[in-house]
Structure formats: structure tokens, C-alpha cells
Amino acid sequence: MNEFSYIYLIPLIPILTFLFLGFTAKKIKEPVSGYIGTASLAAVFALSVYTAYKYFFEVGMVNGKYEPVLVMIKKGWVNFTDKLAIDLGILLDPISAMMLIVVSTISLMVHIYSLGYMHSDTGFSRFYAYLSLFTFSMLGLVLSSNLFLIYIFWELVGVSSFLLIGFYFEKPSAVAASKKAFIVTRFADMFFLIGILMVGYFGQSFDFETLNSESTIHMITGWIANHQIFSFMGLSIFTWALILIYIGGMGKSAMFPLHIWLPDAMEGPTPVSALIHAATMVVAGVYLVARLFPLFYHIDNGAALGVVAVVGAFSALFAAIIAFTQEDIKRVLAFSTMSQIGYMMMALGVSGYEGHEGLGYMAGMFHLFTHAMFKALLFLTAGAIIHAVHSNFMKDMGGLHKYMPISRWVFLIAALAISGIPPFAGFFSKDEILTAAFEYNKFIWFIGFLVAGMTAFYMFRLYFRIFHNKDTDYGDHKPHEAPFTMAFALVFLGIMTIIAGFIPFSELVSADRMPFHSEIHWTSPLVIGSILIAASGIGIAYLMYYKETDYPQKFASGMGAGYKWAKNKFYMDELYIFVTHKIIFDKISKPIAWFDRNVIDGFMNLLGVTTEKAAEKIKFIQTGRMQDYAMYFVSGVIAIVMLIVYFRN
Amino acid sequence: MDLDNFMLMRDEILLTVIILMMLVAEVLLSQKNKKYVIQLGLVLFAGYTFQSFIPNETGELFGGSYKTYPLVHLFKAILAFGVMMILLQSVTWIKEKLLPYDFAAEFFILIFSSLIGLNFMVSAGDFLMFYLGLELSTMPIIALTAFEFWNHRSVEAGVKYIMLASVSSAILLFGVSLVYATAGSIQFDVITGAMHLPLLEIIGLIMIFIGVGFKISLVPFHFWAADVYEGAPTVISNYLSVISKGGAVYVLMTLLFIVFKAFQTEWNWIMYGISILTMLIGNLFALRQQNMKRFLAFSSVAQAGFILLAMLSNNELGVKAIIYFLLIYIFSNVAAFGVVQVISLKTGKENIDDYTGLYRTNPKLSLVLMIALFSLAGIPPVAGFFAKFFLYAAAASKGYYLLIFIAVLNVTISLYYYLLPVRAAFLRTSENPIPYFKSDIYSKMAFVIAMVGLLVLGLYSGVFEYISGMSNIL
């Protein structure tokens, strides 16, 4: 094969760990199962880093371009027709190599962190088994070489997310949340599957490399130009297929209006929120768009990409507004995640393709990378705080900087990073997104710009209210710093958050896989503006929340109904319930159910009764007397002979 | 004829040697050591089964009376494998019922003789070998049917079977003589070439077909099945329903596809009608049965109707589908009969109602029963689903869509009765269920083999591809 032939080990190790831990969950107790899971993840991490290093610096670059490496495990795994087959293959290219690093790093940190966080939980071993399952699915997802394979892992990721959200299955709210997440994402995946089939049909392949190749794009654009392909509402059917695929991505990545599951998903254990609902699974939609980027960009002059940009920008703004008003720290982080993913989508949406034009693509991927680090850090810190205070709500916190110095500093670093303050990681990626958006469309840029300021505000609202604000009396249970394993993960991610911004990302990841050079122009008004708006967001938060003041109260009442709407997440959940219960259940499902019960079942019952009657009627034949049997036998012979003789003449 | 030639029929020779060894053992072993006959028989037959999976060469003996080629050899191996599982299940029965009468060795000798008969029958190259094989396979089984001579039902079953079998043999022989009279030969190859289909020959062919149809229990020649299966020892019912039926199906397939080729348009229509009748009648009677053995008897009648679906295709896909179906059918039926056998030996209960609440007391046994019945009903992902699927595919390849539709309707009916024992075992609770008991190690082995077969064969395509590789007998 080639020098990456070992790469199947990367998904194989976690699935074997899952099977092992799953089957021995009752026998192997804490902490051994945790050590096993962590050790296997450490191996995966080492392999991933080795692979990415080898790809980026040794093998990948051919003639100034990163060439994809395809490791075929089984060619023609499932064959539909001679042309259309699904291969079992692994695709290694800049974005999948980058995702390997993201997934394995965060997963390893979460494994280590959970040794402390899940300590003395009854489901400890089960937790690690699920984590391994998730890691397997996510690694499989990023390494898939074709649409069908990615769909399989896409669903597996959904299942493991379902299992982990509902981890505390004795809690009804957790069960409800897990079902909600599963159903909403499955609903989106229905469109995804239709999209896959349409793309496969028109593109005549499921392979990413074939679909993204110039010849396929040329073929399809040719059809569109010659009107050989069906079009609907001014867009070709292929663009609609891409939009359907994007809907699948919207479901997983919690884009408006399919975001409703993400806040509820916070019912899962906090390390899970960090791994799945902040760093890895929720960016699957972004990854998917990036995977098919040449198609999104070229077909119909990027019409589908426009949808990506608009949905991304709107979701970024929408989530940021809601994040202002939430009281549960995990929910603030959840909406912040949604907002940041919107940012990434927006970045992809505004991107060009060749050379420096592809800045948005690069920035989106860069932001995915840095966001994974600092958002995981934020969640894990939030976990440490919840662990210490035994509450999710900001009102129960305050003044924690005295008790939890490490958490405080890493949280501050992460908050500065997400707000876009140099030199922390978020600044670089965010600034490049804004630069790309500015070149594309001023309005989109303005939304991004606004969201940057809002992000800074709500993050520091969170920071000040947790660590400063009032001096809460914690009684006998003084909050304490996190144990070593948790602190280790926090510090590691903190360091990553500081240094990740200095990675020369455009040299590694780009839309056309040709490295280009990009740097921050410190004196440009764009950069200064974005630093200023972030700083003013922080400043306002400082004024309102550093000390206990009545500004927030006044502000809320000043906003009137707007505040109430935002606090209730713009009543999106209620809207969903109205549509499903009042319209779908009552108006559509009930008549269908009636038809099924009375007509279909009636027919089936008739069939059943007839059969039973017939069986009753003929039972006399089987008399038990041999003479009768012989008679039937011979009559049968005669009958057949006579029939044949009759029909021959 | 040199040694190499003789090795072509190494299966039959080995079986004969085994029978002789059993005879010697029977004579030499003292009364105290008689029980080791069982282990001896099992070990010898296991060795035979193992060697039968080693492929054999293509060739013919006795001037074309005996033929062997890869597919038939594979089929003999499948039969041997089925018999092996049945033997494993019968150990307890032999120990408890036969050893006191000192009949253990006879049991092995008779069942091996019957298997030799089947081997000769499937390898036959002319009607003489075919008929000899058929009778050699039937006679020992008739003796075995009446083996529980203290049980009048067993004796009655034996008598019914021998009488009806002789009627069918008479008709079959009459048919052969008519064909000989018109075609001038009993050699299959010659007959194939010399067919001109005067009426006399057609009647002969129909009679041969009916003779084999009796063994497969096609309607209206199926009446013996229920009474004989019910009365015979469960082991023998099991043997009759899978091994002896399997052999006859194979022979019918070669006869129809190769020997009766010229007669094709006519036999297609006979098969069409009989297929529908067999499925329908088998199902309708199975619906009302209370006794598990009668129930399985009618279910096996209905299954025969499904096999005819693939016979109609008359092409290579049909051959593959039938061999694969028989393989899966052996696994499912052996497992189902095995459960009936174990329970009937421990408690003497054989009715579906007796199985109520079985899951509470014997969960593993209930699971075996469930998977076996699911496979018979054709519920995915158990192998039986794929087996049925290939049968449909074979029929569809020749455009028999209406027949497939009728078959699917019949599957729906069969689903109902296959689920009755499952419902009784799993969903109902009983005041006095069958108490917990431990099965012996041999039955457990057979169950494990059957379960692995049913769960793995369907999903692992290698087996079907292996069969496909040698199915070009046409």
C-alpha cells in the first residue's frame, strides 16, 4: 500500500477499547477502565500526531500542493452498479489530518479530565466505553473517503452522542434531552441522505476525490449551462442536493433553526459537552462543507455556499443574543458554541477558492481548530466549577477566584481567546474570518463584527459573575481546586490556547490545497476595529458585573419584551412543539392512524379470519387413516397425468 | 478400476467401513462397555464429516452409474454435517431409551446406512443407482421410525411409512419402466438425448417426479409426513425433515434440470401448481397444530413449496439458491427439532401450550427456539431470511412474479404460526412452566453450531459465494 497503511489503527483502537470495556463493564471497576480507555486514547493521539506530522511535513507536499493520500481498505465494499460503488477507504488530506489532531487531542484531554470528574460515579466504566465509541465514530467520520462512509459514521456519532447525553438515564430531563438531540439530528440526516443519493446519482460517484475533481465539476457545470439538468426555483438540482447535504450539517452543527437540541444536550456530563458538543461532533457540519468545498464553490457559482454564509451569520447573531440572557453557565457556553460555529460556517460561506481568495476557508478551519481548544477548555473549566460548587447557575457562584486559582486563570485565557484579544488563539482565526467577510460582503462582515463584540461581552459576563462579583457564602463546603487529573487537562489546553494562534495555518490548510502566506496587518483598521469592539465588550461587562450592581436589572427591564424573548430562546422550542403536536400529530398523523387501524388492519384481520376458517374447513382431509392417504396419493397421480394429457392436446 | 478411481467414492467407502467397525464393536464389546458404542460412533462419524469437506475430483464409476463433481461432494458434506448435529442431539435419547435394550449400535448402523443410500442417490448417473440409493436410504429409516417399539405411535408411524413408501416406490418404478420402454435406456445422459416425449414417456416422467415428490412431501403426497413425524422418535423426525428431504430435493433438482430438460414447459406448470398448493396446504395445517412435532412437520411441508420456487427458475441461480436454502434449513430445523427433543425427553411434553413461560425457566433454550423459528419464518437478520430471499431471486429471474407474490402471502401466514411458540415461551407466564434443566453437553454443542450457523451464515457472504463457485452443473 503506502506509508500510511497503518492508519486503520487510528479508528480501530478505540472501537476495540469500546468492545472490551463494553463487555467487561461490570467486571472491571474504576479506575482501571479509565486507565485502559486513556491509555488507548494516548496511543491514538500519538498515532494521530505522527500521521499529521508525516503528512504535513514529509509526504503530503508534492510540487507545492498537498496531495490527498487514499488508503484503500476494501475496494468495492458495497457495489450498486458497475460504476457506482462504495469503497471502504481512508482519505488523508490537510483537513482530515488537522481534524485528527483536534479529535485525538480533545478526546485524550477529556479522558484524562474524566478520571477526576467522573470519580466514584456508578457508571464510570460505561462512561469510558461510550467515550471510546464516540472517539471511534468521530475519527471514522473525519477519515472517511466517501459520502456513504461519512454518513455511516455520522449516524454512529449521533448514537454515541445520544448515549452520552442520556448518560444519567435516571434523570428524566437527561432522557428527554438525549431523545431530542437524536430526533432533531436524525430529522436533518434524512435530508442529508437524500442529498447524498442525489449527489451520487448526478456525480456518478460517492468518493470525495472524484466528486471534487475538476472533471466532475466541469461535467456538472456543463449540464447546468446546457440546461440538461432539472432546475427548481432558479437553482439546479445539484445545488439543491448540496443544500440538502448542508441541512444534515446544520442538524449536527446546531445551526438555526435546527439548533434546539444543543442547549438541552448540556444535560450530559460536562466532559461530554466539552468533547462532543463543543469541539468535535458539532463541527462535523463545518467539516462536511469543507470536504465538499469545491462543489459548493463551483456549482451554480456558489449558490449553495451563499446559503451556508447566510445561515452561519444568522445563527452566530441569534445565538449570541440568547447567550446574553442565560443563567446556566453551560447553556451560555452552548449558545456561544452555536454562535462560533455560525462564525465558521460564515467563514466558509464567504470564501473564494484559489490562493489568497481562499482566506475564508482557511480561516474557518483555523477557527475550528482554535475554537476546539479554547471551547473545550471553557467547558472543562465550567465542569471543574460545577464540580466544586454543585450548581450550574451563576447566581450560586461569585468570588471563586479565591478558591480556584488555576481554573480562574485558564478560564480567563480562554475567555480572552474567544473574545479575540491578541495574542490568544481566537484572535488570529477570528480576525482572518472578519477580513475574509469584509472582502465578500459588508453586511455579513458587520454581523460578524457585531457578534465579536457580543461574544466578548457575554463571555466576560460569565467570567466576572463566576470569579468576582459578589462574595458568595459557601458555608461548610468551601469550593476547592480541581484534582490533579482535571487540572492537568485544563493547563494543557490553556497552553494550547495561548500558542495555537501562532501556527502558520495558511501554509498547511487551504481551499485548493496550495499553501499561501497570510499575516495579520496590525495597522489595518479592520484589525484595530475588531480588537476595539472586543475590548469594549469586555469593558461593558466589567462595569456591569465586576462588582454587584443593578445595571443588569435596569438593562433587562429596559429591554422589556426583547429580554424575555431572548431569555426564552425566542420561543423556538414552543414553536417546534406547536408544529409537531398541533399540526403534524393532529392534522396529519391522526387521520393516517385511523386509516391504518380501520382499513389496513381491517383487511389484515379479514385475511387472518379467512385463513383460520379455511384451515378449519380442510382439517377433515388429514384423517390419520393410511387407506385415505394412499387414495389421495393415487388420485394426485391420476389428476396430474390427466391435466398434462388434457393440456397437451 | 484402480485405486485413484475408487477414491472418487471415498465417502461411501468410508461410511461402509464405519458401519463394519460399529458391527465389530457391537460384537466385541462386553455388556458393561456397550455404552462406549456411542462415543465410538460419534468420533468415527465426526472424522467422516471432517474429511467430507475436503474437495474431491470430478469423475464417474461403474460405466456412468456413479458420478461425482464438486457440487455433489459439497452437498454430501452438508448432509454429513447435518447428520452430525442430529447425532449430537440424540446422545441422551440413545443413552436413556436404547442402551437398556442394547440397541445403540443398531441405531448408528441404520442411520449410517441411510446416509450411504442418500449419497448414492445424489451421485446416481442412471435410474438403477438412483432407485437403489432411494430404497437404501428409506428402509433403515423405516426401521428407525418404529424403533421405539414400546410406543404404539412409533410402531404405527413405521407401518404407515413403509406402506406409503412402497406405494410411492411402485409408482416410481412403474415410471422408470415406462421411460425405459420409450427412451430405451436407464442412463440419464442417454435419456436426455433420446427424449421425444410420446405420451407414455410423459406419464413415466410424471410418475418419477411423484416418487421423488413423496420424499419431499409435496402436496398431495405429503399426508404421511405429519403422522410419521409425530410418531417417530424426534431424532428420526429431524432426520426425515432435513436430511432425507434434502437429498431428495437435490435429486429432483438434477432430474428436472438435466434429465427432464426436454419436458421443461410441462413440468414448469406442474411445479407452479404444486408449489402453490404445497405452501398453502402446509401453512393452513400448520396453523392449527398443537403438537410441536406435527407443527414442524407441516412447516417442513410448506418449506418444500418454497424450494419449488427456485426449481422453477431452471438456471444456475436456482441451483445456488436451493443448496444455500437447504444448508440454512438444516441448521434451523435441526435446532428447532433439537429443542423439541430435549424438552420432550426431560418432561415428555410436546405441545405448544406446554412451552408457556419457557423463557423464565430456560432462557437459553428459548432463545435457540426463537432464532430457529425466526430463521424458518425468514426474519432478517437471521440466515433464513437470506435463504428465502435467494429463492425469490431465482424465481424472479424467470419472471414468476405472481408466484413470488403468493409465496410472500404464505410467508405472512407462516409468520403467524412460527411466532405462536415464541409468544408462548416469551410473552406468556404459566402457573407450572417446564422446570429448569441442564441440557447435556452434546446437545449444547449442536445448538451452538446451529446458532453460529444461523447468525453468521446470513451475514457472511463467503459461504454463498463458495456454493456459487461450483453451481454450474447445468
ipTM reported for the complex, 2 dp: 0.86
Query: Cβ separation of B223 and A629 shorter than 8 Å?
Result: yes
A631 touches B at CB < 8 Å: no
Examine the pLDDT at A102 and tell me if it is beyond 70: yes
Query: Cβ separation of A626 and B226 shorter than 8 Å?
Result: no
pLDDT digits (tens, 9 = 90+) for B157-181: 999 999 999 999 999 999 999 999 9
Examine the pLDDT at A552 and tell me if it is beyond 80: no
**Burial letters A105-120, b for 16+ CB under 10 A, else e:** bbbbbbbbbbbbbbee
Q: What is the 3-state secondary structure (H, E, C) of chain B?
A: CCHHHHHCCHHHHHHHHHHHHHHHHHHHCCHHHCCHHHHHHHHHHHHHHHHHCCCCCCEEEHHHCEEECHHHHHHHHHHHHHHHHHHHHHHHHHHHHHHHHCCHHHHHHHHHHHHHHHHHHHHECEHHHHHHHHHHHHHHHHHHHCCCCCCHHHHHHHHHHHHHHHHHHHHHHHHHHHHHHHHCCCEHHHHHHCCCCCHHHHHHHHHHHHHHHHHHCCCCCCHHHHHHHHHCCHHHHHHHHHHHHHHHHHHHHHHHHHHCHHHHHHHHHHHHHHHHHHHHHHHHHHHCCCEHHHHHHHHHHHHHHHHHHHHHHCCHHHHHHHHHHHHHHHHHHHHHHHHHHHHHHHHCCCECHHHCCHHHHCHHHHHHHHHHHHHHHCCCCCHHHHHHHHHHHHHHCCCCHHHHHHHHHHHHHHHHHHHHHHHHHHCCCCCCCCCCCCCCHHHHHHHHHHHHHHHHHCCCCHHHHHHHHCCCCC
Query: Cβ separation of B210 and A636 shorter than 8 Å?
Result: yes
Nearest CA in chain A to B208: A637
Q: What is the mean pLDDT of residues A154-179?
A: 90
pTM of the model: 0.71
Residue A333, phi then psi, degrees to nearest 5: -65, -35
Nearest CA in chain B to A645: B199
Q: Given A608, A637, A647, which is nearest B171 (Cβ)?
A: A637
Q: Given A607, A622, A632, which is nearest B285 (Cβ)?
A: A622
| pLDDT averaged over every residue in chain B | 90
> B266: which chain A residues are within 8 Å (Cβ-Cβ)?
644, 647-648
Examine the pLDDT at A558 and tell me if it is beyond 80: no
* Angle, helix B292-313 to helix B245-254, in steps of 10 degrees: 20
Nearest chain A Cα distance for residue B154, angstroms: 14
Strand partners, A70: A91
pLDDT of residue B1: 55
Nearest chain B Cα distance for residue A637, angstroms: 7
Best of A607, A619, A631, A637 to mutate (most B CBs within 10 Å, chain B): A637
Whole-Å CA distances, A26 to A11, A23, A34: 24, 8, 13
**Burial letters A40-62, b for 16+ CB under 10 A, else e:** bbebbbebbeebbebbbeebbee
pLDDT of residue A649: 67
Asked if A454 and A320 touch (Cβ cutoff 8 Å), the reply is yes
Examine the pLDDT at B351 and tell me if it is beyond 80: yes
Asked if B119 and B133 touch (Cβ cutoff 8 Å), the reply is yes
Query: Cβ separation of B164 and A616 shorter than 8 Å?
Result: no
Provide the residue count of chain A. 649
Nearest CA in chain B to A605: B413
pLDDT of residue B474: 62
* Chain-centre distance for alpha carbon A430: 20
Rounded to an integer, what distance in angstroms lies between the CA atom of residue A438 and that of residue A621?
88
Q: What is the mean pLDDT of residues B308-325?
A: 90
A169's CB contacts (< 8 A; 6+ apart) are: A175
Helix residue spans in A144-266 (DSSP H): 147-165, 172-203, 208-211, 214-225, 237-252, 261-264
Query: Cβ separation of B284 and A648 shorter than 8 Å?
Result: no
pLDDT digits (tens, 9 = 90+) for A402-445: 888 888 888 999 999 988 888 888 888 888 888 888 888 888 89
Asked if B346 and B412 touch (Cβ cutoff 8 Å), the reply is no
pLDDT digits (tens, 9 = 90+) for A348-364: 988 888 877 888 888 88
Say which range, A389-393, A456-460, A556-560, B218-222, has the weakest mean pLDDT.
A556-560
Q: What is the mean pLDDT of residues A325-336?
A: 89
pLDDT of residue B306: 93
- Whether the bond between B55 and the residue before it is cis, its omega within 30 degrees of 0, is no
pLDDT digits (tens, 9 = 90+) for B189-218: 888 888 777 888 888 888 999 999 999 999
Asked if A330 and A382 touch (Cβ cutoff 8 Å), the reply is yes
Nearest of A124, A123, A132 to residue A169 by alpha carbon: A123
Rounded to an integer, what distance in angstroms lies between the CA atom of residue A516 and that of residue A306?
24
Examine the pLDDT at A279 and tell me if it is beyond 90: no
Query: Cβ separation of A648 and B199 shorter than 8 Å?
Result: yes
Rounded to an integer, what distance in angstroms lies between the CA atom of residue B100 and that of residue B103?
8
Q: What is the mean pLDDT of residues B71-85?
A: 94
Q: Which triple of cell numbers denotes residue B113?
A: 446406512
Nearest chain B Cα distance for residue A85, angstroms: 17
Task: Say if residue A330 is exposed, middle or buried (CB neighbours under 10 Å; 0-12, 13-18, 19+).
Answer: buried
Question: Taking a contact as any Cβ pair under 8 Å apart, which residues of chain B between 291 and 310 contact chain A?
Answer: none
Q: Sketch the domain layout of chain B as residue ranges.
A: 3-468
Query: Cβ separation of A612 and B221 shorter than 8 Å?
Result: no
Confidence band, pLDDT 50/70/90 cuts, at residue B49: very high
pLDDT of residue B304: 93
Query: Cβ separation of A633 and B220 shorter than 8 Å?
Result: yes
> B167: which chain A residues are within 8 Å (Cβ-Cβ)?
630, 633-634
Examine the pLDDT at B2 and tell me if it is beyond 70: no
pLDDT of residue A518: 78
pLDDT of residue A604: 83
Q: Are strands B59-61 and A235-236 parallel, antiparallel or unpaired?
A: unpaired
B226 touches A at CB < 8 Å: yes
> A626: which chain B residues are within 8 Å (Cβ-Cβ)?
159-160, 163-164
User: Residue A98 region, left (φ>0) first, then alpha (ψ -120 to 50), else beta?
Assistant: alpha
Query: Cβ separation of A628 and B168 shorter than 8 Å?
Result: no
Nearest chain A Cα distance for residue B3, angstroms: 45
A619 touches B at CB < 8 Å: yes
> A612: which chain B residues are within 8 Å (Cβ-Cβ)?
287
Q: What is the mean pLDDT of residues B378-398?
A: 89
A78 touches B at CB < 8 Å: no
Q: What is the mean pLDDT of residues A553-557?
A: 78
Nearest chain A Cα distance for residue B106, angstroms: 28
Q: Given B203, B221, B284, which is nearest A636 (Cβ)?
A: B221
B156 touches A at CB < 8 Å: no
Rounded to an integer, what distance in angstroms lies between the CA atom of residue B230 and that of residue B239?
13
Strand partners, B187: B126
Nearest chain B Cα distance for residue A632, angstroms: 7
User: How many A×B Cβ pairs under 8 Å?
Assistant: 72
Q: What is the mean pLDDT of residues B276-287?
A: 91
Nearest chain B Cα distance for residue A108, angstroms: 35
